[in-house]
């Protein structure tokens, strides 16, 4: 029989253990509950340890392990608090009156050649051709 150096670690040995993949936004799902963790764990597989009673408590985090070592905790996503956060938006195009940001050049126009009238491919009646020719003179 082995004696543990720290009796507080005893509880961690009897927790439920499941493997979860952390999404690119540093979230993962556990029993239909969304949890968030640090961004450094994004796109990795981690072992999640928890007590089933912890899932009912928003304030209680679940424990994250990799290779048997505790590397962090994850908390339930608080959707109401998350909805009110201001986010840094993706780059928006500058207004016409604003100068482009340094190092950023104006986007090239889609049209690279001047517009040229192309003759119609539909056949034109002979009297109409004559009247058009007379107008050009």
Contact call for residues 36 and 82 (beta carbons, < 8 A): no
Stated as kind and residue range, the H or E segment containing 92 is none
Q: Reply yes or no on whether the pLDDT at 25 is more than 80.
A: yes
For 112-127, write each residue's pLDDT tens digit. Answer: 666 566 665 556 566 6
**Tell me, what's the pLDDT at 82?**
78
> What do you get for the CA distance between the two ends of the chain, in Å?
113
Provide CB contacts within 8 A for 66, sequence distance 6+. 44, 46, 47
The domain total for the chain is: 1
Does residue 112 belong to any structural domain of this protein? no
Q: Which domain holds residue 20?
A: 9-79
| Neighbouring-strand partners of residue 23 | none
Neighbours of 80 (CB within 10 A): 6
For 46-95, write each residue's pLDDT tens digit. Answer: 999 999 999 998 889 999 999 989 999 999 998 888 787 777 766 555 55
Q: Reply yes or no on whether the pLDDT at 38 is more than 80.
A: yes
């Amino acid at each position: 029989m082995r004696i543990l150096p720290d009796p507080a670690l005893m509880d961690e040995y009897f927790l439920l253990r499941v493997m979860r993949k952390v999404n690119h936004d540093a979230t993962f799902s556990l029993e239909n509950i969304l949890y968030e963790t640090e961004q450094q764990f994004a796109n990795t597989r981690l072992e999640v340890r928890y007590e089933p009673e912890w899932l009912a408590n928003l304030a209680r985090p679940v424990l994250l392990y990799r290779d048997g070592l505790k590397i962090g905790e994850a908390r339930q996503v608080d959707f109401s608090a998350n909805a009110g956060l201001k986010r840094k938006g993706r780059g928006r195009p500058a207004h016409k009156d604003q100068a482009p940001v340094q190092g950023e050049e104006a986007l090239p126009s889609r049209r690279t050649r001047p517009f040229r009238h192309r003759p119609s491919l539909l056949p034109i009646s002979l009297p109409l051709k004559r009247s058009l020719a007379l107008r050009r003179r």
